[in-house]
A and B are shown apart, each in its own frame.
Chain A
């Protein structure tokens, strides 16, 4: 069994290595015909850019994206600069330089990778999946009898911030940096999933399709790990199945199929303000121009945020969204599970958390106010501030850096819910409802707590669960996503996630159950 595991690890690392090498290899050559078509399709009017590319790129062979991309970005930047200087605003190209490099790169790729997409898929994703499963599946036997399987977490390099954790950190951060800021280096990855993308939406894959596909693959594989690890715990089994379903069907398949049906791309479960660009002008316009389905999405999106989300939180707590439905939560609960113990439990972190997450919510709301005002007043400037620059700032700081690079990249170091805990504006909104008007609580079982600290250690949201449990108090916290792990790891059966009457949900106690009843009443009634 251990041998199978080790072989699996080697196979996985082979797949990972090939995948990691792809951004820097490959041949790119742009033919005059390809470029002509491209210019026509994009409606590029910059003669400077066209001649620059024709002179320096077209008809040449480039080995690796490193030699190809700078030519394109340079051509675009100098052309735009010149046009701005000459006030030729109609000629300015609004595609970002790196996106332009990615788009041109995508059509100019040639050679082995492009000609053997299926094989390359197998050598990357295929080996990764097979290797990972070979590494994970033997645990059915190796982990022994069902029960809590946290042995050695703080002895293992990978789960105790050792060098492996730092390698994973570097890999994840680099991956997100490429995805968000240097998409041209993701071009080779897009070839691998072109066949899948074409079969779904009919289009070739872009970097976001790679991301979406990979997201699903990673979640499925790591969900298998969850199923084995928590096979004694039905709550975890059901919850894992739920997040998996919503990711694959709602976040991945339905939007792609909608594109095939000429409908707007939309993830029906992605609620504003997590879906921060829902009220952006381009999105509203696109929805309003998409006929019935566009209107339906518009109404659904508003109803989802204003009615469905809070009502569901009232009945079930924010867990129904954060750990049962949400994609970010889904990744955190599968890929992130080995790192859940790293969230800081200090009071200081809690203070930082409250400022940050509510700050982001405020930012999102103010920004949306500006964009909506701009939309209805048909102006690009509100209160002397360019709406576009607010949106760009949010997209960059919150959408890309916080949610992506930090949110997932920092899993191995700061735990798996950095984004959900410190940044997600939807989580902040749900948190208000959960804290002040909800039936959900984690019930503490009388006086049974022994202060061992397993609950706090494994709380991914950094809640010091024990601080409540050892006082006999129920846990009612806005940040709790109801993953259920505190209850699972408790050795004494002290914690239970419940939806019950609001009365008595918050139960301050001085003297714990088990001591003289008269004394308890005397003190607790005070």
Chain B
């Protein structure tokens, strides 16, 4: 029986394993040195915050793996020998594979800061990182202040975690507004305000220069490029992630920043595939980045590679871009492409609406010449994925989106609806006379 070995038990690897099992009877093994069972990485923050126990982050009960004949191996792969088709295991016997899927995910970026390997200095990615936060920042007597370096999604999550235990947090952000390499300015500004509301010491346009140790090799303070020295007991390095592929350096597998793959998710070596955060497309797909370190894309690659491995050769062909996050109390969703002022083309125009009091706003991107709808960012309003996916496929224009915006609302019942104000502002700015249509189940459930 063909033996499929998957390195990494994150969402990509586990999705691949599940789908291979659905489609075939092959022998499947998943190797991980991180945890025995699959857990949701994005949920680690909730364990520290006391919303859940670690076991709650595990989407499948422990019997699931045996029942589905997916072997779980807790081991660390040191090397791949693709001629022999074996994996060298640290402190263990080699493992033979017939086909190999590399799904080793990411590791936090470290940019060579002095002191970046001190005790109490870490990223937030793995279960071990979670244990580290619990060890070095368990409460505000042991950790009187924490500094977070890097204004992205993980940074703000780490800030929220630490604040949940009343630990004072200083948040260093390289940009002059939070995440404004991705978010348009109105949204970025709103999140700046929201961060301050949560009593986080946000320092924009500030870089880390050095991390200072105490006599025990623990972090004592950090220095910024503004000359400030900030005493702290914990430093979170959250300036992005990079593929976790150091062990492949001399394996003969082609690597760039990640493991190079074609659209079939095949590497240069036959029978070796790479998926998820660690995979790097030779050519970026559409407006996507060559490396997509996102939960959803990892899952899609897992779904796709399973097809290929089970004889139905399939290209990785993601549909319309979507993503989501939560900034403290504000939920964020995006469908299609909305670029920030820094990265957008001149032809991409934005319509922005922000609630006068609440932390709610949306930005709609459209093409300046054709009025074609390009994408939407929503903060504090939930939107219906199916609807936007369909509108993007149908290449609707922005007027149409405004007219039928109520169909897309996904907020819980009894929530205040904002479409009327949104469309009113749109009409004023664009000189249109759109009346929003009442929500229609018929349209929502229309199959294309």
Contact = CB atoms under 8 A, between A and B. Distances in A.
Contact of A456 (B56, B319, B322, B385): B56
A452 B40 contact: yes
B122 interface: no
A451 interface: yes
A145 B300 contact: no
Given A145-B198, A152-B164, A457-B52, A513 B40 contact: no
Given A454-B43, A454-B46, A154 B51 contact: yes
21 contacts: A150-B50, A151-B49, A152-B50, A152-B164, A234-B414, A237-B414, A238-B414, A443-B410, A445-B410, A453-B43, A454-B52, A491-B331, A492-B324, A492-B331, A493-B410, A496-B411, A498-B413, A513-B385, A514-B296, A514-B389, A516-B314
B384 interface: yes
B416 A447 contact: no
Contacts of B316: 516
Contact of B52 (A154, A447, A501, A510): A154
A72 B369 CA distance: 93
A456 B58 CA distance: 11
Nearest to B326: A491
A435 interface: no
A237 to B, nearest CB: 8
A491 B156 CA distance: 14
Given A145-B198, A501-B441, A516-B319, A452 B42 contact: yes
A306 interface: no
A144 B34 CA distance: 36
Nearest to B47: A154
Interface in B382-408: 382-386, 389, 393
B424 to A, nearest CB: 22
A448 B383 CA distance: 11
A511 B303 contact: yes
Interface string B319-332: 11010111011010
A80 B49 CA distance: 62
B198 A517 contact: no
A233 interface: yes
A interface SS class: loop
A517 B319 contact: yes
A497 B300 contact: no
A511 to B, nearest CB: 5
Contact of B11 (A233, A451, A493): A451
Contacts of A369: none
Interface string B33-69: 0000000101100110111110011110100000000
A519 B314 contact: yes
Q: Which of B52, B315, B416 is the most central at the interface, judged by chain A CB atoms within 10 Å of its CB?
A: B52
A153 B51 contact: yes
B290 to A, nearest CB: 18
A147 B389 CA distance: 28
Interface in A458-480: 466-467, 470
A508 interface: no
Nearest to B393: A517
A451 B59 contact: yes
A262 interface: no
B414 A235 contact: yes
Contacts of A238: 414
Contacts of B331: 491-493
A496 B318 CA distance: 25
Given A154-B51, A447-B322, A452-B43, A457 B61 contact: no
A470 to B, nearest CB: 6
B247 interface: no
Contacts of A520: 319
A346 interface: yes
A29 interface: no
B20 to A, nearest CB: 13
A71 interface: no
A515 interface: yes
Contacts of B318: 514-516
Contacts of A311: none
Contacts of A512: 299-300, 303
Contacts of A445: 382, 384-386, 410
A350 to B, nearest CB: 11
B198 A451 contact: no
A146 interface: yes
Interface of A: 144-148, 150-156, 232-235, 237-238, 346-347, 443, 445-448, 450-454, 456-457, 466-467, 470, 484, 487-489, 491-493, 496-498, 500-501, 503-504, 510-520
Given A154-B51, A453-B57, A235 B295 contact: no
Contact of B50 (A144, A154, A454, A497): A154
Contacts of A491: 326, 331
B363 interface: no
B307 interface: yes
B177 interface: no
Contacts of B324: 448, 450, 492-493
Contact of B40 (A447, A453, A515): A453
Nearest to B14: A451
Given A148-B329, A453-B59, A496-B382, A513 B389 contact: yes
Q: Which of A466, A498, A514 is the most central at the interface, judged by chain B CB atoms within 10 Å of its CB?
A: A514
Given A470-B59, A511-B303, A446 B386 contact: yes
B356 interface: no
B326 A492 contact: yes
A346 B61 contact: yes
Contacts of B198: 144-145
A510 B22 contact: yes
A20 B322 CA distance: 57
Interface in B282-329: 295-296, 299-300, 303-304, 307, 314-320, 322, 324-326, 328-329
Given A446-B389, A493-B324, A504-B445, 19 more contacts: A144-B198, A150-B49, A151-B50, A152-B49, A155-B50, A233-B412, A447-B322, A450-B42, A452-B40, A452-B43, A457-B52, A457-B56, A470-B59, A492-B331, A511-B303, A514-B296, A515-B318, A515-B319, A519-B303
A35 B173 CA distance: 83
Nearest to B384: A445
B57 A147 contact: no
A520 to B, nearest CB: 8
Interface in B310-367: 314-320, 322, 324-326, 328-329, 331, 333
Contact of B317 (A467, A488, A516): A516
B109 to A, nearest CB: 22
Contacts of B50: 150-156
Nearest to A439: B441
A153 B47 CA distance: 10
A467 B382 CA distance: 21
B215 interface: no
B2 interface: no
A450 B49 contact: no
Contacts of A154: 47, 50-53
Nearest to A146: B329
B193 to A, nearest CB: 11
